[in-house]
């Protein structure tokens, strides 16, 4: 009761405070905008990353390394602002718009939604966008069918090495018939990847069993159900599923079913093997492209998007042991990198 | 003319909580009559009003208005020819709208609510005249939100709104029960004035035995879904409040209250 | 400058959404979660029309509005005829619309970068001189938002609009006036979701893409805008409620943009929004209790 009357008495005061703070915020904005109009030392790059998971983080680190190799070192002649959208499209859009306001020299966008929002925000500006980890730039509207760019935007694509992955699975499991894939139905990358898998699986004697989810919370149930129907599971570059990788591994391990990853971080985390991309290298490649643009050697619009053509074999013997899967020595030795323990972060 | 013919209504039939509201209940109201209905709580007074207005349906029987069978007619359609004032002053008006807007709404009862202007400029004077007849000074406050009026003022407005358009019946559901004695008197005088001016057939349910005796041309007392007293015209004028009170106490004692 | 333009654009687009939420939440007293589904519905319909069907962008506006009207009608029918509670009717629609929106758009992410939109088409580009291009968006959005606002203001002054205001206040009165209150509620829900869908249509064209998750939290943004607008601008009688709701939306977006500009992490922003929301709700509710 006392609290209520206290609130009522102070209501008028609170009202005033609210109005004053709004006014103050407007003033601060003006000041900051005016201040931001000054010139900066060196170059500035805004990194807009869509979600937190190993592959994307590797991209970012690779990107910075690639820039460093070309002479752009953070702290020296380069300021980096890094924002992670936490898988929220609205935040990604806001981030892009924010970078444009701050007049960065280049935006690095990691993953499709970040790339899309960055391209949209920079459309009427001179700021180039260099993306990475965008599985299908053509479908995302960032590139034409012939790989040429649609505007001041270019980058690298992490298109899956489907054929090589299928071949690898056949080598490891000569008798397997069904491969399960979990994916988020609303991620366009995943939808086109599934189509790709289905097209090519037949030639290797496999049948693809897919399980669609709409959110990370559904992965657990989907996995529990799928492991009863298939001989193994393989991953796409689906942000939702990769973020929930441990859940998938838990369910698969209960049935001693191997899970094959789409890149090295997943193998390190417990997937048996992968014919995958080294996201760090992909990031590095992207960093070098960005460096060329910053130096003024070439415009983003003139660069076609690049992909990594040679996938590498990664193997995790500890993961194989866990489910009682025996891998031939020659196979393990042929791997680009072999892990003998499961690292869960 | 209103006729309730052989109405039967049970709540929760066949269960432990079965309540028989009415059984073969008959009631007729002539045009121009002003009927006061009294009775103890649970006697069926308000249920009868709800039956007439269509808020509750009947199990058996029929309701006739001017020889038209409206038993199956939906509640909101019946309300086009009925004015109803509730006990709660808040139920008869819209608190967030102004007096003028409320009156414009009420004026449109029975007509389609289309995309024409909500408030007709030409009618504002007419509304002012109506408000003046209330003698509450509301004609000067037409742009004030109804929510800021007192209970009595709102009830007076509700009464006015209920009777603005041509209606077959005016249903008054204990409409003075929530008001202080002085305001209640004012409202009753207002009711008398409006009813006699417009010759509206009126059914008034009240707990106030004095009002029941003093106002109206017919007095009905209900008990357990039946009518136990029904006097009109000259005989009604002779009834004293004390007599009604005694009868009331008698049936209350029989019920063990 | 880019920041101010961005805030104004987003603020006004979501302002139209706020108008819709204002109708259901404040006027009808019906917390309508359909908004989380009808906002992306307008967006999905627009990208399908512009992208795959190649229709002129100006058609997306009425299409989105009437699409939203249909959606709102469904919510209304579920609530009135099937007697499902207000909150649950909205949840049912919002859930079903996820699938419908995916189906309408084609897939979970649809870009329309190289297509003509309502902001970027032959007619507009020929009228506006190129040095004013950065203002194109905000002017067009302003015109559409003002049109929506004035139409809504006009409607609320008609007989039908009066009924809408009455049904949220005192639905017994609506029945007493001889009108089916269920029908009035359905009309209200239809108009509200039509506006929300229109807002989604503009959003998709401004972002030049459709993403399935844009609807998540839309109703929260709408409510925040309505409450900020009505609480802060209540005392200023010159400003109509509909304008204050749009201004509330702009203020809300400004706060978020400022927070991000100042370097607040994306995670913290949601918490700050929640706290801001709570403070304003408490102040707003307190005034109501008087």
Binned at pLDDT 50, 70 and 90, residue A154 comes out as very high
User: In C, what residues contact B, Cβ < 8 A?
Assistant: 155, 157-163, 165-166, 169-170, 172-181
pLDDT at res. A268:
87
> What would the two tokens of residue C248 be?
């509330």
Residues 168-227 in C contacting A (C-alpha not used; CB under 8 Å): 207-209, 211-214, 216-217
> What would the two tokens of residue B257 be?
């209250």
Mean residue pLDDT of chain C comes to: 88
Q: Which residues of C touch B118 (CB under 8 A)?
A: 157-159, 161-162
Binned at pLDDT 50, 70 and 90, residue A301 comes out as confident
For chain B, state the CA radius of gyration.
19
- pLDDT top residue among C187 and C266: C187
Query: Does A2 score more than 50 pLDDT?
Result: no
Mean pLDDT of B61-82: 88
C189: closest CA of chain B, how far (Å): 17
Contact yes or no for A22/C255 (Cβ under 8 A) = no
Query: Does C254 score more than 50 pLDDT?
Result: yes
pLDDT at res. A27:
53
Contact call for C169 and B95, based on CB within 8 A: yes
The chain B residue lying nearest C181, using CA atoms, is B76
> What would the two tokens of residue C25 be?
């939440």
Query: Does C284 score more than 70 pLDDT?
Result: no
- Residue B192 has, within 13 A of its CA and on its CB side, a CA count of 12
Query: Does C287 score more than 60 pLDDT?
Result: no
User: In B, what residues contact C, Cβ < 8 A?
Assistant: 74-77, 79-80, 83-84, 86, 90-97, 101, 104-106, 108-110, 112-119, 162
Residue in A24, A87, A141, A216 to test binding to C, most C beta-carbons within 10 Å: A141
Contact yes or no for C66/C77 (Cβ under 8 A) = no
Is it the case that chain C and chain B have 3 or more CB pairs lying under 8 Å apart? yes
B143: closest CA of chain C, how far (Å): 14
Contact call for C257 and A94, based on CB within 8 A: yes
pLDDT at res. B256:
54
Domain B2-94+148-241, CATH class in plain words: alpha beta
Percent of residues, chain A, with pLDDT higher than 70: 88
Mean pLDDT of B130-148: 86
> What would the two tokens of residue C219 be?
């109703």
Binned at pLDDT 50, 70 and 90, residue C212 comes out as confident
Mean pLDDT of A132-154: 87
Spatial distance between the Cα atoms of A161 and A314, rounded to a whole number of angstroms: 13
Give the residue from C186, C198, C178, C152 showing the smallest Cα distance to C80. Answer: C186
pLDDT at res. B203:
92
Give how far Cα A157 sits from Cα of A135, A162, A164, Å: 5, 14, 17
**Cβ-Cβ contacts under 8 Å for A56 (sequence gap 6 or more):** A49, A50, A110, A111, A133, A279
pLDDT at res. C45:
96
Contact yes or no for A38/A103 (Cβ under 8 A) = no
Query: Does A12 score more than 60 pLDDT?
Result: no
User: Which sign does the torsion angle of CA A263, A268, A271, A274 carry?
Assistant: positive
The chain A residue lying nearest C9, using CA atoms, is A97
The chain B residue lying nearest C183, using CA atoms, is B76
- pLDDT top residue among B111 and C15: C15
Contact call for C3 and A142, based on CB within 8 A: no
Binned at pLDDT 50, 70 and 90, residue A214 comes out as confident
Mean pLDDT of C30-41: 94
Residues 70-109 in C contacting A (C-alpha not used; CB under 8 Å): 98, 102, 107-109
Percent of residues, chain B, with pLDDT higher than 90: 12
Chain CA centroid to CA C155, Å: 17
Binned at pLDDT 50, 70 and 90, residue C285 comes out as low
Give the residue from B72, B75, B71, B70 showing the smallest Cα distance to B55. Answer: B75
Percent of residues, chain C, with pLDDT higher than 90: 54
Contact call for A120 and C251, based on CB within 8 A: no
What would the pLDDT profile of A110-134 be if each residue is shown by its tens digit?
A: 998 899 999 998 987 889 999 998 8
Query: Does A319 score more than 80 pLDDT?
Result: yes
Q: Phi and psi for C209 in degrees, rounded to 5? A: -165, 165
Contact yes or no for B158/B93 (Cβ under 8 A) = yes
Spatial distance between the Cα atoms of A151 and C113, rounded to a whole number of angstroms: 10
- Give the strand pairing for B68-69 and B60-65: antiparallel
The burial class, CB within 10 Å (0-12 / 13-18 / 19+), for A109 is buried
The chain C residue lying nearest B115, using CA atoms, is C158
Mean pLDDT of A192-214: 90
Query: Does C10 score more than 60 pLDDT?
Result: yes
Query: Does C235 score more than 80 pLDDT?
Result: no
Query: Does A40 score more than 70 pLDDT?
Result: no
The domains of chain A, with CATH numbers, are 43-158+280-307 (3.40.50.2300), 162-276+312-339 (3.40.50.2300)
Mean residue pLDDT of chain B comes to: 86
Beta strands in A29-152 (DSSP E): 43-49, 78-84, 106-110, 129-132
Does the CB of A11 have a partner CB in chain C at under 8 Å?
Answer: yes
Give the residue from C3, C132, C119, C106 showing the smallest Cα distance to C61. Answer: C119
Query: Does A307 score more than 90 pLDDT?
Result: no
Contact call for C160 and B114, based on CB within 8 A: yes
What would the pLDDT profile of C151-169 be if each residue is shown by its tens digit?
A: 999 999 999 999 999 998 8
Contact call for C173 and B93, based on CB within 8 A: yes
Mean residue pLDDT of chain A comes to: 84
Mean pLDDT of C129-133: 78
The chain C residue lying nearest A4, using CA atoms, is C286
> What would the two tokens of residue B256 be?
């063990």
The burial class, CB within 10 Å (0-12 / 13-18 / 19+), for B195 is buried
Residue in C26, C172, C177, C182 to test binding to B, most B beta-carbons within 10 Å: C177
Give the residue from B148, B243, B167, B203 showing the smallest Cα distance to B34. Answer: B203
- Give the strand pairing for A178-184 and A207-213: parallel
Spatial distance between the Cα atoms of B38 and B248, rounded to a whole number of angstroms: 9
C207: closest CA of chain A, how far (Å): 6
Spatial distance between the Cα atoms of C96 and A301, rounded to a whole number of angstroms: 41
Does the CB of A214 have a partner CB in chain C at under 8 Å?
Answer: yes
Contact yes or no for A48/A83 (Cβ under 8 A) = yes
Query: Does A13 score more than 70 pLDDT?
Result: no
Query: Does C289 score more than 60 pLDDT?
Result: no
Mean pLDDT of A11-38: 53
Contact call for C108 and A142, based on CB within 8 A: no
pLDDT at res. C171:
87
> What would the two tokens of residue B59 be?
């199990």
B208: closest CA of chain C, how far (Å): 25
Contact yes or no for A273/A316 (Cβ under 8 A) = yes
Query: Does A343 score more than 90 pLDDT?
Result: no
Mean pLDDT of B243-257: 69
A328: closest CA of chain C, how far (Å): 41
Give kind and range of the element (H or E) at residue A251.
helix A245-254
Give how far Cα B74 sits from Cα of A175, B34, C181, Å: 71, 25, 12
Binned at pLDDT 50, 70 and 90, residue C22 comes out as very high
Query: Does B255 score more than 60 pLDDT?
Result: no
Give kind and range of the element (H or E) at residue A183.
strand A178-184
SS3 A213: strand
Contact yes or no for C160/C183 (Cβ under 8 A) = no
Binned at pLDDT 50, 70 and 90, residue C21 comes out as very high
Percent of residues, chain C, with pLDDT higher than 70: 94
Spatial distance between the Cα atoms of B205 and B84, rounded to a whole number of angstroms: 11
Mean pLDDT of C221-248: 84
Mean pLDDT of C120-146: 85
The chain C residue lying nearest B148, using CA atoms, is C290
Cβ atoms < 10 Å from Cβ of A154: 29
SS3 C1: coil
Give kind and range of the element (H or E) at residue B27.
strand B19-29
Contact yes or no for A107/A48 (Cβ under 8 A) = yes
SS (H, E, C) A217-232: HHHHHHHHHHCCCCCE
- Give the strand pairing for C209-211 and C109-111: antiparallel
Looking at chain B, list the stretches that DSSP marks H as alpha helix, in order from N- to C-terminal side. 45-53, 75-78, 99-107, 124-132, 151-162, 181-198, 209-214, 233-238, 241-254
Binned at pLDDT 50, 70 and 90, residue C286 comes out as low
Query: Which pTM value belongs to this model?
Result: 0.83
**Cβ-Cβ contacts under 8 Å for A240 (sequence gap 6 or more):** A87, A183, A184, A187, A213, A215, A216, A219
pLDDT at res. C238:
63
Query: Does A32 score more than 80 pLDDT?
Result: no
Beta strands in C39-176 (DSSP E): 109-111
Is it the case that chain A and chain C have 3 or more CB pairs lying under 8 Å apart? yes
pLDDT at res. A6:
46
Q: Which residues of A touch C217 (CB under 8 A)?
A: 90
DSSP for chain C? -HHHHHHHHHHHHHHHHHHHHIIIIIIS----TTHHHHHHHHHHHHHIIIIIS---GGGHHHHHHHHHHHHHHHHHHHHHTS---HHHHHHHHHHHHHHHHHHHHSSSEEE-TTS--SSSSHHHHHHS-GGGHHHHHHHHHHHHHHHHHHHHHHHHTBHHHHHHHHHHH-HHHHHHTT--HHHHHHHHHHHHHHHHHHHHHHHHHHHTEEEGGGGTTHHHHHHHHHHHHHHHTTT-TTS-HHHHHHHHHHHHHHHHHHHHHTT--HHHHHHHHHHHHHHHHHHHHHHHH-
Binned at pLDDT 50, 70 and 90, residue C198 comes out as very high
Nearest to C166 among B79, B90, B94 (CB): B94
Mean pLDDT of B54-73: 87
Residue in C4, C125, C209 to test binding to A, most A beta-carbons within 10 Å: C209
The domain locations on chain B are 2-94+148-241
């Amino acid at each position: 009761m006392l609290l209520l009357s206290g609130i009522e008495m102070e209501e008028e005061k609170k009202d005033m405070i609210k109005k004053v703070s709004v006014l103050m915020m407007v003033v601060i904005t003006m000041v900051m905008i005016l201040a931001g109009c000054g010139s900066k030392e060196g170059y500035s790059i805004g990194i807009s990353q869509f979600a937190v998971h190993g592959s994307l983080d590797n991209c970012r680190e690779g990107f910075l390394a690639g820039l460093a190799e070309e002479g752009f070192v953070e702290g020296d002649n380069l300021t980096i602002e890094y924002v992670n959208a936490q898988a929220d499209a609205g935040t990604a859009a806001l981030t892009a718009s924010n970078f444009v306001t701050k007049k960065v020299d280049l935006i690095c966008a990691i993953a499709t939604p970040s790339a899309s929002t960055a391209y949209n925000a920079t459309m009427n500006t001179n700021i180039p966008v260099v993306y990475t980890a965008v599985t299908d730039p053509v479908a995302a509207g960032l590139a034409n069918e012939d790989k040429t760019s649609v505007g001041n935007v270019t980058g690298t694509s992490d298109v899956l090495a489907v054929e090589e992955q299928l071949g690898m699975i056949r080598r490891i499991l000569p008798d397997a018939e069904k491969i399960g894939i979990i994916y988020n139905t609303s991620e366009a990358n995943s939808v086109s990847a599934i189509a790709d898998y289905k097209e090519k699986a037949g030639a290797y004697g496999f049948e693809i069993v897919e399980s669609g989810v709409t959110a990370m919370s559904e992965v657990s149930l989907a996995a529990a159900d799928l492991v009863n129907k298939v001989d193994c599971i393989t991953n796409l570059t689906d942000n939702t599923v990769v973020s929930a990788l441990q859940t998938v591994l838990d369910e698969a391990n209960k049935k001693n079913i191997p899970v094959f990853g789409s890149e090295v971080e997943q193998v390190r985390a417990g997937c048996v093997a992968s014919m995958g991309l080294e996201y760090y290298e992909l990031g590095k490649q992207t960093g070098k492209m960005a460096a060329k643009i910053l130096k003024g050697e070439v415009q983003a619009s003139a660069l076609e998007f690049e992909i990594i053509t040679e996938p590498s074999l990664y193997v995790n013997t500890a993961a194989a042991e866990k489910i009682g899967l025996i891998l031939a020595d020659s196979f393990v030795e042929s791997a680009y990198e072999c892990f003998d323990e499961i690292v869960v972060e | 003319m209103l006729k309730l013919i052989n109405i039967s209504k049970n709540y929760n039939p066949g269960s432990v909580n079965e309540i028989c509201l009415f059984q073969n209940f008959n009631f007729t109201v002539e045009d121009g009559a002003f009927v006061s209905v009294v009775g103890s709580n649970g006697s069926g007074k308000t249920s009868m009003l709800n039956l007439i207005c269509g808020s509750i349906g009947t199990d058996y029987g029929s309701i006739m208005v001017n020889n038209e069978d409206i038993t199956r007619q939906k509640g909101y359609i019946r309300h086009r020819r009925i004015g109803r004032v509730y006990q709660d002053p808040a139920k008869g008006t819209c608190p967030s709208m102004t007096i003028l807007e409320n009156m414009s709404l009420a004026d449109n009862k029975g007509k389609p609510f289309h995309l024409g202007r909500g408030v007709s400029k030409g009618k504002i004077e007419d509304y002012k005249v109506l408000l003046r007849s209330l003698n509450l000074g509301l004609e000067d406050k037409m742009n004030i939100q109804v929510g800021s009026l007192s209970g009595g003022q709102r009830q007076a407005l509700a009464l006015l709104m209920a009777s603005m358009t041509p209606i077959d019946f005016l249903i008054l559901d204990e409409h003075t029960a929530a008001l202080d004695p002085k305001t209640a008197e004012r409202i009753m005088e207002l009711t008398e004035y409006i009813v006699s001016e417009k010759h509206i057939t009126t059914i008034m349910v009240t707990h106030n035995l004095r009002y029941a005796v003093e106002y109206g041309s017919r007095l009905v007392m209900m008990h357990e879904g039946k009518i136990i007293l029904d006097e009109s015209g000259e005989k009604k004028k002779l009834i004293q409040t004390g007599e009604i009170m005694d009868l009331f106490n008698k049936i209350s004692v029989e019920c063990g209250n | 400058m880019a920041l101010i333009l961005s805030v104004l654009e987003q603020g006004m687009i979501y302002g139209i959404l706020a108008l819709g939420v204002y109708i259901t939440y404040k006027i009808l007293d019906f917390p309508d979660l359909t908004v989380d589904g009808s906002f992306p519905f307008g967006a999905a319909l627009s990208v399908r029309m512009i992208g795959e069907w190649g229709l002129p962008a100006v058609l997306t506006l009425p299409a989105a509005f009437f699409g939203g009207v249909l959606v709102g009608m469904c919510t209304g029918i579920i609530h009135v005829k099937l007697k499902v509670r207000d909150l649950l009717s909205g949840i049912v629609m919002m859930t079903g619309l996820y699938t419908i929106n995916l189906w309408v758009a084609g897939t979970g992410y649809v870009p329309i970068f190289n297509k003509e939109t309502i902001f970027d088409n032959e007619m507009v580009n020929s009228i506006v001189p190129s040095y004013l291009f950065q203002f194109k968006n905000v002017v067009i959005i302003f015109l559409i938002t003002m049109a929506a606002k004035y139409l809504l203001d006009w409607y609320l002054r008609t007989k039908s609009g009066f009924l809408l205001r009455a049904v949220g206040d005192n639905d017994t009165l609506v029945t007493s006036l001889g009108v089916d209150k269920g029908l009035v509620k359905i009309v209200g829900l239809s108009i509200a979701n039509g506006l929300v869908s229109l807002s989604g249509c503009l959003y998709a064209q401004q972002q030049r893409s459709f993403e399935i998750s844009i609807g998540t939290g839309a109703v929260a943004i709408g409510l925040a805008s309505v409450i900020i607008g009505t609480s802060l601008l209540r005392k200023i009688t010159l400003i109509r409620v509909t304008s204050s709701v749009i201004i509330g939306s702009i203020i809300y977006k400004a706060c978020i943009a400022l927070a991000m500009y100042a370097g607040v992490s994306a995670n913290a922003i949601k918490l700050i929004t929640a706290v801001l929301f709570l403070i304003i709700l408490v102040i707003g509710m307190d005034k109501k209790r008087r």
